[in-house]
Amino acid sequence: MSLTEINFDGIVGPSHNYAGLSLGNIASANHGGDPSYPRAAALQGLAKMRGNMARGLAQGCLLPLPRPNHALLTRLAVDNATDRALLAAAWSASSMWTANAATVSPAPDTADGRCHLTPANLSTMLHRAQEWPETKRQLDLAFADSAHFAVHDAVPGSFGDEGAANHMRLCEGHGTAGVEVFVYGRPGGKFPARQHEQASRAVARLHGLDPDRTVFIEQNPAAIAAGAFHNDVVAVANERVLFTHAEAFADQAGAYEAIRAKFPALEMVEVAASAVSLAEAIRTYLFNAQLVTLPGGEMALVVPEECRESDAVWSWCEAMLAGNGPIRQVIPVDVRQSMANGGGPACLRLRVVADPATVDSRFLLDDAKAERMEKAIAAAWPEQIDPADLGSDALARTVRAARQSLIETLDLPELG
Ligand code: SUG
């Protein structure tokens, strides 16, 4: 059995729009009210997936959820004349950010030797809290092989859980036992702390993690206040490497010490605030990168194009590459449509370490399938959505038909 890291990217849904729904997410607030381009957005996402496949990485996908969500509109008694934000919530394509779909503990880390997945309840934000039951339906299908996977229910919504966005894993190699790091926020700041400590601890227990290989650390309240609503906006890990901003954690030195005590092989790549301020890190999403191990063993950082356009960030990347640290390539990708809602390359993917042969192959990609998906998207996804269009019956029909065409392309009638 060969355990591989598979990135499951969320396909950007046909209702992708900018409604400014996420308090504390600076990009979402800044772009609220702008027109969106769902077709271009979904094609940008697929181009990123294709780039990673071309680099020899395993790629999967999760489908957009059914929108508009009529059940949510009914439960809130919302119609087109009531609050636009409530209406927009039911139209949100936010499930594209699959780093928030679930927390994943690979088989070598768990007591029963299966890969455990817990969908995130995303309970802090209405538009995201509606996601998990439909997300779970997809996880149940993709990871139906119960000899190798366990898919749990989300933890109760009183404890906010944001999934893999607030979780990191350090290991010698993906297929060996790792140390899992859960990063939570404390409430009380000007923006919500979306990951609660109790949720992190519950997920660790559900997954049967060994307390000697589990670490809980607190996000820096100043990072949350600066717009790092998820820890993966200021830190990312891969194998032995933790790539982090120097102001990511409440007690930075204490966090490194706690991780090193359980994972002595830790290699740090820390970016000083004097080189890249928290604000610039959050604007460019330098840390919301995919830190990946290429088939040859070299590590690459797949960053948003916005990083190349920032003097401070790009100078730091060039200096890093000129040195002899563990990250040997920096690869910019264009995911601007997602970035404008606060979702970079890392938000768009859920990492699952598994043997691809144990995953339902309908959720796995190759070039031929990616091409078929591109065709379906080019034919059916709306070109543009203005926030005022949300609520229109004609747009609702277009959005539903577009999703249906992708379901047919991927032969997933169970999701129709
Ligand atoms: O939850 N944006 C998402 C972005 C999620 C990014 N994910 C990670 N960092 N892993 C969020 O804030 C904006 C939707 C809107 O405003 O229409 C939004 O939900």
The pLDDT of residue 377 is: 98
**pLDDT confidence of residue 1:** 64
Ligand 1 centroid to residue 172 C-alpha, Å: 31
How far is the centre of ligand 1, averaged over its atoms, from the C-alpha of 100 (Å)? 9
> 287 in ligand 1 pocket by Cβ < 6 Å?
no
Nearest residue to 351 via CA among 178, 113, 153, 158: 178
- What are the residue numbers of the active site? 162, 230, 347
Low-confidence stretches of the chain (pLDDT < 70) are 1
pLDDT digits (tens, 9 = 90+) for 99-117: 999 999 999 999 999 999 9
The Cβ of residue 27 has, within 10 Å, a number of other Cβ atoms equal to 22
**Which residues have a Cβ under 8 Å from the Cβ of 200 and sit 6 or more positions away?**
161, 166, 167, 182, 183, 184, 216
3-class DSSP state for residue 413?
helix
The answer to whether residues 108 and 3 touch, using CB atoms and an 8 Å cutoff, is yes
Residue whose CA is at the smallest distance from ligand 1 atom 7: 347
Atom of ligand 1 nearest to the CA of 31: 16
pLDDT value at residue 105 = 99
Statement: the pTM of the whole predicted model exceeds 0.85 = yes
Write the pLDDT tens digit of every residue in 142-166: 999 999 999 999 999 999 999 999 9
| Closest residue CA from atom 6 of ligand 1 | 343
4-415 in CATH: which number?
A: 3.75.10.20
Can you count the helices (H) and strands (E) in the chain?
15, 15
Lookup: tokens for 334: 């264009």
- Closest ligand 1 atom to residue 194 Cα is 1
Tell the residue number behind the tokens 């020899």, with chain if given: 56
Ligand 1 atom nearest residue 88's Cα: 17
Q: Which amino acid is at 374?
A: E
Is residue 343 lining ligand 1, measured as CB closer than 6 Å?
yes
Q: Is the CB of 162 under 6 A from ligand 1?
A: no
User: What spacing in Å lies between the alpha carbon of 148 and ligand 1's midpoint?
Assistant: 31
Rounded Cα gap, residues 94 and 96, in angstroms: 5
b/e per residue 50-86 (b: at least 16 CB within 10 A): bbbbebebbbbbbbbbbbbbeebbeeeebeeeeebeb
